[in-house]
Chains A and B, each alone.
Chain A
Amino acid sequence: MEQPALRVIDACKTYDRSDHAALLPTSFEVARGEFVSLVGPSGCGKSTLLGMIAGLLTPDAGTIEALGRPVTGPGDGRAIVFQDAALFPWLTVLHNVEYGLRAHKVPKAERRERVEDALRLVHLDHVADKYPYELSGGMRQRASIARALVMRPEILLMDEPFSALDAQTRTILSDELQRIWLETRPAVVFVTHNLIEAAFLSDTVHLLSSGPGRIVKTYDIDIPRPRDEADPALLELRHDMLDRLRAEVDDAAERRAQVAEVSAL
């Protein structure tokens, strides 16, 4: 059996001083080349989970294996795209994309070639010499995706990459991401609170609920690609996920009410 790209085994995190949401022991796998989304309301621990996979947070217990090796820090075949693009404001788009290659001491000629390829892939070759502040939000996020892809990651981690964009840009970039993923085929872990976005992009969607965070349901989506965001099957799926989430929120509210009652006794 082929080794999965990512294996999360009973990883959990309790509240600490930082603002990371708590997460009950959680397990799932991501196959090579698979697109997996973690969806849920804020506080469900989806970003916490992604941070642990990225190697930026340490789980309290449990293990995370990427490409068969335990995760001990960032990098090592994993690249990450943040919500606010997090481009280096003092570098041009080109030098931003080149940064990781420089850090890895890739020779100059190869660097230039790979940067050009990555920029062409996200359709940013015409603004290579612009600074981040000269770009729109959507273009900044494209640059950020290029900066991750230039590392040729086997696992691409995306933390609500489109949530700061307007609805139109978001739709366009979702489409673009599908195309880019079909061309480059990394395994993707995509965190979002947008159900339709998750359903549109993913092979597998893990629905998380809060208080404390845990996976409540997993959806396998085998609609053929390339997909259309207006596909009725996707809308139906979204409906189902929404119902499930509503039920969870009601349950959580009820549990909290019960706890309040009990502690009032």
Chain B
Amino acid sequence: MSTAAGDGTGGGTGERPGTAARAAGAVAMDLFRKSWFVILILVVWWLISATGLVDPYKLPAPGDVLSTLGTLFTERALLDDLGATLLRLVEGWAIGVVAGVLLGILTGGSRFLEDGIRPVIAGLQAVPTIAFLPLAILWFGFNGTAVLAITAFGTFKPMALATYGAMHQISPTLMMAGKALGARGLFMQRTLIFPAIVPALVTGLKMGWSFAWRALMAAEIVVTGAAGLGGVLELGREIGAIDVVMAVILVILVVGIVTEQLFFTRLERWVNQRWGLVGAR
């Protein structure tokens, strides 16, 4: 269940010698299919900078970016910035998730409350979160708290909407079964409504995470006082060090892929299995 290898291509261990070779070939083919475009980009990038077609101040060579990345980690303590950013991301996301889900569950049961509140949140969701940054700076100051608030708010909106959406999809029979067994009020919200929406919420969590990540980066680029990747990015622009800018972008990219693959994909798989959404039914 938990083999994280190539999806779908997990070839069985063959009895005949040819089978293993063919399985290895299939894995290689799969790897190539998923990476050829990345390789192409790198090659074109390298060619452009190697031939001097574009000024290295505008586009440094891939190797230079890599070595700058190394220097950033060893000399400018990029690890601290990465840590600060990740901490802020997790905190802001967690606050947004808890607030959004709580609001959804507590008000989603009442048509009066939902009909009043939901359109407002949907409206706010139409506004890019970063547009609220000046407001957050005025309220919380030109510091990490404002950034955290923006990250939390960016998560809160899609989470609340996802919770409302998920609550409308709870099976009516399940609700009737719960009511007939005597579930009411808070007990029902805690033991029936919340667990019933978990599979749908996992999708929301993923979306909330990407909204949090965007809001956080935008806010960090503006509020450069505190440690964080956004600050380094902005610093790179100020001093005209394009290799620094590109190195940080690379780090941001890797963080996104790693959290998606390591955390959310596994969470989703676990929930789907535990809630019986795969296999029977």
Contact = CB atoms under 8 A, between A and B. Distances in A.
A78 B176 CA distance: 13
Given A80-B180, A103-B184, A103-B187, A86 B280 contact: no
Interface string B238-281: 00000000000000000000000000000000000011110111
A75 B182 contact: yes
B276 A133 contact: yes
A78 B182 CA distance: 10
Interface in A55-103: 55-56, 73-75, 78-80, 82, 84, 86, 88-91, 99-100, 102-103
Contacts of A73: 179
A104 B188 CA distance: 12
A100 B148 CA distance: 42
B190 to A, nearest CB: 11
Contact of B180 (A56, A89, A132): A56
A117 to B, nearest CB: 17
Interface stretch (B22-30, B99-107, B191-199, B200-208): B191-199
B181 interface: yes
A82 B173 contact: yes
Interface string B168-180: 0001011011111
Contacts of B279: 133
Contacts of B181: 75, 79, 99-100, 103, 147, 151
B182 A90 contact: no
A129 interface: no
B183 interface: yes
Query: Is the contact region of chain B dominated by helix, strand, or loop, or is it mixed?
Result: helix
Nearest to B280: A133
Contact of A80 (B177, B184, B196, B274): B177
Nearest to B279: A133
A54 B180 contact: yes
Contacts of A55: 180
B18 to A, nearest CB: 38
Query: Is the contact region of chain A dominated by helix, strand, or loop, or is it mixed?
Result: loop
Contacts of A79: 180-181
Nearest to A144: B177
Contacts of A56: 176, 179-180
Contacts of B281: 89, 133
B105 to A, nearest CB: 15
Contacts of A250: none
Contacts of A90: 195-196, 198, 274-275
A31 to B, nearest CB: 22
A88 B274 contact: no
B182 A100 contact: yes
Contact of A102 (B173, B191, B195, B198): B191
A240 interface: no
A89 B192 CA distance: 10
A254 interface: no
Interface string A116-141: 00000000000000011111000000
A133 B276 CA distance: 5
B166 to A, nearest CB: 14
B276 A104 contact: no
A86 B171 contact: yes
Contacts of A131: 274, 276
Nearest to B174: A86
A144 to B, nearest CB: 8
A49 to B, nearest CB: 15
A56 B173 CA distance: 11
A159 to B, nearest CB: 10
B177 A103 contact: no
A86 B176 contact: yes
Contacts of A133: 276, 279-281
Contacts of A99: 178, 181, 183, 191
A74 B176 contact: yes
17 contacts: A56-B176, A74-B179, A78-B180, A80-B176, A84-B173, A86-B173, A86-B174, A86-B177, A88-B174, A88-B178, A99-B181, A102-B187, A103-B184, A104-B182, A131-B276, A151-B181, A151-B182
Interface of A: 54-56, 73-75, 78-80, 82, 84, 86, 88-91, 99-100, 102-104, 131-135, 147, 151
Interface of B: 171, 173-174, 176-184, 187, 191-192, 195-196, 198, 274-277, 279-281
Given A75-B182, A147-B181, 12 more contacts: A54-B176, A75-B181, A82-B176, A86-B173, A86-B176, A89-B275, A100-B181, A103-B178, A103-B184, A103-B187, A104-B182, A133-B276
The 10 closest A-B pairs by CB, nearest first: A133-B276, A100-B181, A103-B182, A86-B177, A74-B180, A133-B280, A89-B276, A86-B173, A90-B195, A80-B180
